Each structure stands twice: as structure tokens, then as C-alpha cells.
Chain A
Amino acid sequence: MDDFRDLDRRLHRRAFLSTAGALVVGLAAPEVWARAAPSSAASPNNPAMLADKLDAYLAVHVDGTVDVFYGAIDGGQGLATSIAQMVAEELDVSLTSVNMVMGDSARTLNMGGASGATGVSRRGITLMSMAAEARRALVERAAAKLGVSADRLRVADGVVFVDGDAEKRATYAELIGDKSFGSDVKWNGQWGNGHDAKGAAPVKKPADYKVVGTSPRRADLSRKVFGEQDFPGDLKLPGMLHARMVRPPVAGAVPVSVEEASIAHIPDARVVHIKDLLAVVAPKEWNAVRALRALKATWSESAPNFPDHDHVHDYIRAAAVTQRTIERENGDVDAGLKSAAKIVAGEYEYPTHSHASMGPACGLADVREDGATIYTSTQKPHYAADGIANLLGLPREKVRAVWMYGTGSYGRNDQGDATADAAVLSKTLGAPVRVQWMREEALGWDPKGTAAVNRLRAGIDANGDVVAYELISKGFSRENVATNEGRAAATLAGQLLGFPPEPKNTFNIPFASYTFPDNRVGWETVAPLMERASPLRSTHLRDPYGPPILFGSESFMDEIAAELKMDPVAFRLKYLKHPRDIEATRLAAEKAGWVARASPRADIDRSADVFEGRGIAFRRHFDTFIGVVAEVRVHRASGVVRPTRIVCAHDCGLIVNPETLTHVIERQLVYGTGRTTVEELHWDKDKVTSVDWIKYPVLHMEHAPPKIEIHLISRPDAAPSGAAEMALGLVPAAMGNAVFDATGVRLRRVPFTPARVKEALERA
């Protein structure tokens, strides 16, 4: 076992004490004065929680280890290791000495959470500056101690020594071990994603990097492989009760009466019924499940009359617009379209998706007279603490959120909702409570990624140039509930207890690099299908507005190219100006062995059993530039579409850990394939019907692209710009374009199910 793995184990032991056999929670006793306060509020007595103090960002211990206080989380994509590399680089310590303290609202500042793949690009950059400032402060102390000027000192592995006289030395541990830096940094005054702080010290030049740009193995891997990593479902608090939430048979129905006698035969099982919230609890977990199944309750009448999900896009087309926003406009699109020699128009439909997390949500709460502690895997634990304070009527500083590794959330999934459930139940019962959602809840009641209809038009002049372009995407707002659980109203429990919903009309259209003389890009929202405690309430799902809209816009680019009988790569390059746009597109095509020609391919044999084709899609997201080429095989008789190969060119500026980055891209291309080919939420007029892994199909091995090739474009001098969700949004269009190339049939609705593809092929 290498050092890093031994370190994993040591850190793991430090973080959680467990006795053999019985798993009892033992949150690490605070190790240094700076982190002793259980309060999550910044206070003058606790400089480690003040955003303008260096102590809030890192601490050096007497054993030479370094704690980094990362006020966000690692969803399992290796972010913690990359951030540790960035800190080790600027601090000049070994990577193995760095311990990441993540997402604990009592020990870290609110830096937002997992959001928009900004871990490296925002928080990592902040912490590099903090590490550089800490190094400067430590070198200054060493200079005083050793009696030499600071410019004669060098640092390696946490040891400061005199250049040319390594015997004269002082370790970081000797210089500051477990003591306060006592120095200020410049905080920008913001919390959450906007949080930033800068130190006075300059950061290194990329050319001098030794740790950033290398690929040490992720620190969380071995704990997971050896089954040592505790998730919320593994915690047992003393005296804890297990709870299951009882959901209505029809959306919108509320419990009117409950027959407690129906669960009287189950040992120590109890009902909790507060306003519209209904739950069962028991000391033994299985008995809580039995009580859930046995409980008889009367529910109010409810008739949500959801429109048939198969025709939800027609519903969206016809529904009244609640808000229309043109995000980008230049030139005169109406005039451009009017004067065009030819108009190309197309519509593209994207379905509703569940977060469909691997594990249903699980949250724990221990609510006492003097405060509450929650144990949660939400992506935004600091906000969750805010929301629990709001929900329980506690002062914010009395709530501590302890974040734990959990099932990959990939957006605001159900985790925060389960945590809020647990908080309500723990307060009511006066005991710690663990709420485990069931599979049918995780699919039927998690916040959703919503459906959209993309309407596109392009005007082409006599020379074959695109002179006017319009994209209007219409659908449900993406924030029926907020993208974090910072308000009680944003949680299901809060809404069931009467906190009025606080919906927002948001949508957003992905950036497009193409330049057209007349251009209009915008969105329209329609009213939610249910206002309160809706199983269809929307919020952010991984790359919230990427896949739904890029499926339309990047398919449509292909559609125009086909109309003009142009090669789809050459057509895109004609309208791309930025060198990084151009390189990502070109590299993807080149590595895929792209042969320039128009789509569809000229040699389609309509009677063939199998069709093969290739398609490309491109995007720029923040400052990440991605080209994806998909090769597909389409089976005529069955309508099955499978990607046989995906090639991705990826430029996200500075690369911190190339191997981790490659993994992150590969995994999301697989995930994106599932969103493209199988995932689709179904419901009837009353409720969500996609409540298991058969009715909500997800990618299995047979659907996965067997060959994925990733080509990283390294730009050490460009700021890192994020990678954890940028590529997946290109999969639907790249695959759809490949199907068109193979068959001449344009797929206009995701997912590309066999029935849908077969029908499209037969219609052609």
C-alpha cells in the first residue's frame, strides 16, 4: 500500500471513531482551539470562522499535517484531491500531509457547495491564494527565528531552510503548529458561490508547478473500495429512531386521519402526523419499513389532472407563457428571416428527468433544546443548515450541518429533503432520527429536471450563409424550488408544514459561440403543474440547462448544415471565431478520424439491418471548450440505437489532475448516454409512475459506449474553468446527429427509445 492510502486510513480514523461491530457516531473531537466552537456562525471569538482571517482557510498542526477548510463538498469526482494538490502546491508541503475538511458548517465557511463545476475554478483558486499567503507568513516567521532575511529562505515539504545551508531550518509545525496565523486576508464580502478571498502573497507561475498538473490517486478511493467510508445511512446515533415518510397516493392529497391501530402489531412503531406531514418511526429499521407498508390513512381528495406525460410537449406548446426573456439579441432577426432566401426550422423536445440517485436520500438529525445537528449528503450543506434553522425556528448559529460523502447527487436531489424530514421528526420526538427514503420516493418525489421544447429557425441567404438565427426554448421554470435547501419553503417538509412555496421563473440558455449577423436567443416559461409539495417540482439537475437546450441547438446546427449539404464540422467552423472554440472542434474531429462530407451519408442502404453514422456537437461552457464526436449503430428492426465510440476534445484551461479529469469526462459521457437513450420520467394524471428502476430506466452496461477516447487540451496559463458537467450535454445532439448521418432520419425527441426510433425510421 502506498503512502497515500495509508494516509486515507489515518485521516479516516481521525474523522470518525467507530467501535468494533457497532457503529456509533463519533465525530472527531475538535483538535485545535481554532475549531472548538460548535457554532457555525462567525464570531469575534472564533477567528477560524471569520472569512477575512487566514485561519478560516487552513491550519498547520504540530504533527506537520495541514487541515484545509473547504466550505463545499466532493460529490465523488475527486475534487478533494485536486483541491489538496492546489493547496500543497502553493504551501510547499507534501500532498500526503494535507487533510481536506469539507462541508461542515461549524468548521468551514459557506463557499456554496457543488454547483456548476466550480470547485477548482473558484474555490480552488481561492485556496491557492490562501496557501500562498500562509507560506509567506510562515517564511516570515522562519526568517525571524533563523535570523536571516526571507529572500534567503526556501521551502520544501513543509520545511523552511536557508538556501545553500539546509542545516539552518525550521519546520512549519515548529513555526506555527496548532496556533493561529493571526493574519488578515481580503475577503470579497460574499458567501456561497460568490465567496472569494485573496492574500497579499503572489501565487506561483504555472511553469513552476510540481504538484498541480500531476495525477496522484484520489484520496477517497480506497476507503470506498474497502467499505470503510461511512455514508449517512451508516450512522447510528445513540437512541436513534428510524423513520419512513408516508407519501400520498395522489399528488396533492394530504392526510386527514390515520389509523394508529394499523401498526399496533409492529414493535415500538409510532406515527408522526404534523399538519400535512406523515411519517412512521421505529427503533428497528425494518419495523419502520413494515409500518410504512401497514399504515392505514385517509387522504383528502386531490385531482391534479397532470397532462399525459407522452404529450407534455404539446401541453407546453399550448400553455400560457408566464415569462419571456430574450437573453441575447443582435441585429434584426425578424428582418433577417424575412429577407432570407431559405428558412430552416426545427423543433426539439427534451423530457423530464429524475435525479434518480443511486441511493435514495438519507438524512439524520439530532435536534435538542439548545440546538440541532444534521448529518447530510446534500450538495450545499451550509444552506441546509440555514433551511433547518428556518424550518425549526432556531437561531442559525444553533444549527450545525455535518456533510458526509453520499450517493452522487448531481444536482439538488432529494438529500436535503430527507434531512429536513429528519429535523422535523427529531424535534417532535425528542430523539435523533434517521430518515431513509424508499426507491419509489427517490424517483417519485425528488426534485426534477424539467421538460422543454426548443423552437429554432434560421434564415439563409442566396450565398448559403446563415444570416438570421432564432432559438426560443419553452418549458417549466427550472426553480419551482430553490437550488439549495436554504429556506424551509424549498423543502418538501417545509411545504407540507405550511411554508408557502417560493418559486422562481428561471431558465437560462447555454452560451453559443457561433456568430450570426441577426441572432435572438431566449426562453419562455409556463406555470408549474402543481404549486405545492409537487412530485414534479423542478430544480437543478446536473448541467441544468445544458442537455435540454443543446440537444436542440446542436442538432439544429447539423440540420442547417445538412440543408446546405455542408460537412457538419466545416459548417460549425465557418461560424466559430475564438481559437479555443476552433481547436476543440477540430481536435475532436481529427481524433475521431472525421472525413469531411455532408450528412446523411450517401450510401445508405434502406434494407440494411444495421446503419452506422457519426455526428458532432460542440459547446463552450464558462471557459471550457468541448467537442464531442459520437459514432452510433442503429438497428432497423428493433430501433435500438447504441453509441459504439465517443471521442471528446476537452479544453478547461489549467489541468490540476489529468487522470482525475479524464475520469470525470469519461463517466459523464456514459451518464449522458443514459440521459439520451433511456431516461424519461412517466406519470399519469395523479402521480409519478416511474417509481422503480424498470419504470424509470437508466443506463446499464449494454447501453454504455464501449469505446470512449478523451483528448485533453492543456493550457497551463489559462484559468481552470471546470469539467464536472460540461461534456454530458453534448451527448444527445452528437448521437442524434450520428443517427441522422446513418439513416437520414432526424430524431427530435429525447430519449431515443427503440419504439421512438423504429417509428421514425418507418415514417421516413
Chain B
Amino acid sequence: MTQRLTLNVNGQPHDIAIDDPDMPLLYALRDDLGLNNPRFGCGLGQCGACTVHIDGEPTRSCAMPVSAVGDRAVTTLHGVGSREKPHPLQAAWIEEQVNQCGYCINGWLMEGVALLKRNPRPSEAEAREAFSELICRCGTHNAAVRAVLRAAQQA
């Protein structure tokens, strides 16, 4: 049965109709709201491509039922920074020319942003740890660490 619920995404309330309370948040964001930054990589919470922040905490939206989000604040990459107002990590990502294909980039940026928020001056080891559960098939791992350290210096 169709249910209605309200998601609080990037500071805006969004009303959606859902057929299944177990639908992962990822599908609500992408299919209902057209917010394509979180990507489908595995649907298993194993790769990080779908990461969003829920009340500031990096969360795999592919493994979070939409009905469990409640009124918590969902932030996607668009809510973190934009071309007009880039997050320091986005600027550093471009300076370091980190990404290749860019399919995984959402998860890395969302984890990196969360790291810098809780630890504005991370060490290289801390940056590596923050990215430890993410997958990138292009091999941008070291470059991503360099970008975090660059962003930390400039913050």
C-alpha cells in the first residue's frame, strides 16, 4: 500500500509516496528526488558509493530503509558543496586531480568531509583509516589521502 512520508534532505522537506517501507533510502533519493550523487554500487553496504550523511554521520543509503530515516537530516554531496561554494575537500579533490571515472567519488567525498568535521587536522594514517571501507576500482586511494591532507592544511 502506498504510504506518504517526508524526508528532510539538504535542509528541505520532500514529500514522497512509497510502495514499500523497506525501500532503501538510496532509491528514494535517486528515483523519487532525482538526487543522483549517491550511486548504486553494490546494494550491500560494501562499497560506499551510496554514502550520505544522516545527522552528520556517514551512512550507506543502500542499506538504510527509507522508513527508518524519520525526521533526521539527510545530506547528500549537493548539500555539502557546489561549484559556487565548494567544500574545501572538493576544492582539494580538484587540485589533486584525484578521480578517474568518478563513479565512487560520492562515497569518498562524503567520508572525507565527515572526517574533516570530526578531525580537522588528520594525519595520513587517520585519513587512510577513514577511507578503509571504501572501494575505488581506478586506484585513486593515495590521491584521495593527499586531497584530505591538502584540505586540512587549507582549512
Partners in one complex: yes
Chain A residues close to B by CB (< 8 Å): 1, 5, 9, 21-23, 75-78, 217-218, 220-222, 224-231, 233-234, 236, 242, 266-267, 284-287, 289-290, 356-360, 405-408, 410, 436, 438-439, 659-660, 663, 666-674, 692-694, 698-702, 704-706, 708
Pairwise interchain contact A666-B139, C-beta atoms closer than 8 A: yes
Stretch of B53-61, B67-75, B115-123, B128-136 on the interface side: B128-136
Chain B nearest Cβ from A353, distance in angstroms: 12
Q: Which residues of B contact A672 (CB under 8 A)?
A: 139
Chain B nearest Cβ from A632, distance in angstroms: 17
Given A285-B27, A358-B103, A701 and B90 touching (CB < 8 A)?
Answer: no
Pairwise interchain contact B19-A286, C-beta atoms closer than 8 A: yes
A701 to B101, CA, bound (A): 18
Q: List 19 additional contacts besides A286-B20, A671-B137; criterion CB under 8 Å.
A: A23-B34, A76-B102, A217-B97, A221-B97, A225-B105, A227-B78, A267-B19, A287-B20, A358-B47, A359-B39, A360-B41, A405-B101, A405-B102, A438-B43, A674-B139, A692-B44, A701-B132, A706-B142, A708-B142
Pairwise interchain contact B137-A358, C-beta atoms closer than 8 A: yes
Given A408-B101, A669-B139, A701 and B134 touching (CB < 8 A)?
Answer: yes
Pairwise interchain contact B128-A284, C-beta atoms closer than 8 A: no
Q: Which residues of A contact B102 (CB under 8 A)?
A: 76, 220, 224-225, 229, 405
Task: Please list 27 pairs of residues, one from A and one from B, whose beta carbons are closer than 8 Å in the complex, sorted by A's number.
Answer: A224-B102, A226-B86, A227-B78, A227-B106, A229-B102, A233-B36, A234-B36, A242-B31, A266-B19, A285-B30, A285-B31, A286-B19, A286-B27, A287-B20, A358-B101, A358-B136, A359-B39, A360-B41, A407-B103, A408-B103, A660-B97, A666-B143, A674-B139, A693-B44, A701-B131, A701-B132, A702-B128
Q: Which residues of B contact A289 (CB under 8 A)?
A: 27, 43
Chain B nearest Cβ from A111, distance in angstroms: 20
Given A358-B41, A408-B137, A701-B128, A286 and B97 touching (CB < 8 A)?
Answer: no
Chain A nearest Cβ from B40, distance in angstroms: 7
A702 to B134, CA, bound (A): 11
Output the nearest chain B residue to A674 by Cβ-Cβ distance: B139
Which secondary structure characterizes the binding site on chain B?
A: loop
Chain A nearest Cβ from B135, distance in angstroms: 6
Pairwise interchain contact B83-A358, C-beta atoms closer than 8 A: no
A163 to B84, CA, bound (A): 42
Pairwise interchain contact A408-B30, C-beta atoms closer than 8 A: no
Pairwise interchain contact A76-B31, C-beta atoms closer than 8 A: no
Q: Which residues of A contact B7 (CB under 8 A)?
A: none
Q: List CB contacts (< 8 Å) of B86-111 with chain A.
A: 86, 90, 93-94, 97, 99-106, 109
Pick the residue among B30, B76, B97, B135 that contacts A698 (CB under 8 A): B135
Choose among A236, A290, A357, A667 the residue with the greatest number of B CB atoms under 10 Å from its CB.
A667
Whether a CB of chain A sits under 8 angstroms from the CB of B138 is: yes
Pairwise interchain contact A667-B139, C-beta atoms closer than 8 A: yes
Whether a CB of chain A sits under 8 angstroms from the CB of B82 is: yes
Pairwise interchain contact B40-A227, C-beta atoms closer than 8 A: no
A708 to B24, CA, bound (A): 39
A311 to B85, CA, bound (A): 55
Q: Which residues of A contact B131 (CB under 8 A)?
A: 701
Pairwise interchain contact A406-B101, C-beta atoms closer than 8 A: yes
Pairwise interchain contact A225-B36, C-beta atoms closer than 8 A: no
A50 to B76, CA, bound (A): 45
Choose among B2, B49, B136, B140 the residue with the greatest number of A CB atoms under 10 Å from its CB.
B136
Choose among A226, A669, A705 the residue with the greatest number of B CB atoms under 10 Å from its CB.
A226
Given A76-B102, A224-B102, A693-B46, A670 and B139 touching (CB < 8 A)?
Answer: yes
Pick the residue among A77, A286, A666, A693 that contacts B47 (CB under 8 A): A693
Pick the residue among B34, B46, B82, B93 that contacts A692 (CB under 8 A): B46
Q: Which residues of A contact B106 (CB under 8 A)?
A: 227
Output the nearest chain B residue to A21 by Cβ-Cβ distance: B34
Pairwise interchain contact B24-A286, C-beta atoms closer than 8 A: yes
Given A290-B20, A359-B41, A224 and B132 touching (CB < 8 A)?
Answer: no
Q: Which residues of A contact B101 (CB under 8 A)?
A: 75-76, 358, 405-408
Pick the residue among A22, A226, A439, A671 that contacts B83 (CB under 8 A): A226
A670 to B100, CA, bound (A): 13
Pairwise interchain contact B97-A704, C-beta atoms closer than 8 A: no
Pairwise interchain contact A222-B83, C-beta atoms closer than 8 A: yes
A347 to B104, CA, bound (A): 37
A242 to B40, CA, bound (A): 14
Q: Which residues of B contact A410 (CB under 8 A)?
A: 137
Chain B nearest Cβ from A631, distance in angstroms: 15
Which secondary structure characterizes the binding site on chain A?
A: loop
Q: Which residues of A contact B143 (CB under 8 A)?
A: 663, 666-667
Whether a CB of chain A sits under 8 angstroms from the CB of B13 is: no
A200 to B60, CA, bound (A): 57
Chain A nearest Cβ from B147, distance in angstroms: 10
Q: Which residues of B contact A1 (CB under 8 A)?
A: 83
Whether a CB of chain A sits under 8 angstroms from the CB of B23 is: yes
Output the nearest chain A residue to B42 by Cβ-Cβ distance: A439
A446 to B76, CA, bound (A): 30
Pairwise interchain contact B31-A284, C-beta atoms closer than 8 A: yes
Output the nearest chain B residue to A362 by Cβ-Cβ distance: B40
Pick the residue among A225, A285, A694, A704 that contacts B142 (CB under 8 A): A704
Given A286-B20, A359-B40, A221 and B99 touching (CB < 8 A)?
Answer: yes
Pick the residue among A218, A267, A699 that contacts B139 (CB under 8 A): A699
Pairwise interchain contact B99-A76, C-beta atoms closer than 8 A: yes
Pairwise interchain contact B27-A668, C-beta atoms closer than 8 A: no
Q: Which residues of B contact A674 (CB under 8 A)?
A: 139
Pick the residue among A266, A356, A408 that contacts B100 (CB under 8 A): A408
Q: Which residues of B contact A700 (CB under 8 A)?
A: 132-135
Q: Which residues of A contact B140 (CB under 8 A)?
A: 667, 670
Chain B nearest Cβ from A46, distance in angstroms: 32
Choose among B81, B135, B139 the residue with the greatest number of A CB atoms under 10 Å from its CB.
B139
A650 to B49, CA, bound (A): 32
Given A1-B83, A226-B83, A358-B47, A284 and B139 touching (CB < 8 A)?
Answer: no
Pairwise interchain contact A23-B141, C-beta atoms closer than 8 A: no
A701 to B90, CA, bound (A): 20
Given A286-B23, A667-B139, A701-B128, A226 and B90 touching (CB < 8 A)?
Answer: yes
Output the nearest chain B residue to A266 by Cβ-Cβ distance: B19
Pairwise interchain contact B94-A5, C-beta atoms closer than 8 A: yes
Whether a CB of chain A sits under 8 angstroms from the CB of B37 is: yes
Chain A nearest Cβ from B77, distance in angstroms: 5
Pairwise interchain contact B135-A358, C-beta atoms closer than 8 A: yes
Pairwise interchain contact A76-B43, C-beta atoms closer than 8 A: no
Chain B nearest Cβ from A741, distance in angstroms: 24
Q: Which residues of B contact A667 (CB under 8 A)?
A: 100, 138-140, 143
A267 to B134, CA, bound (A): 34
Q: Which residues of A contact B43 (CB under 8 A)?
A: 289, 438-439
Given A285-B30, A692-B44, A700-B135, A224 and B99 touching (CB < 8 A)?
Answer: yes
Q: Which residues of B contact A217 (CB under 8 A)?
A: 94, 97
Pairwise interchain contact B94-A225, C-beta atoms closer than 8 A: yes
A290 to B131, CA, bound (A): 31
Q: Which residues of A contact B86 (CB under 8 A)?
A: 225-226
Output the nearest chain B residue to A702 by Cβ-Cβ distance: B132
Pairwise interchain contact A227-B137, C-beta atoms closer than 8 A: no
Pick the residue among B2, B40, B105, B135 that contacts A693 (CB under 8 A): B135
Q: Which residues of B contact A406 (CB under 8 A)?
A: 101, 103
Q: Which residues of A contact B100 (CB under 8 A)?
A: 75-78, 408, 663, 667
Q: Which residues of A contact B44 (CB under 8 A)?
A: 439, 692-693
Output the nearest chain B residue to A663 by Cβ-Cβ distance: B97
Q: Which residues of B contact A230 (CB under 8 A)?
A: 36
Q: Which residues of A contact B40 (CB under 8 A)?
A: 233, 359-360, 436
A29 to B41, CA, bound (A): 32
Q: Which residues of B contact A287 (CB under 8 A)?
A: 19-20
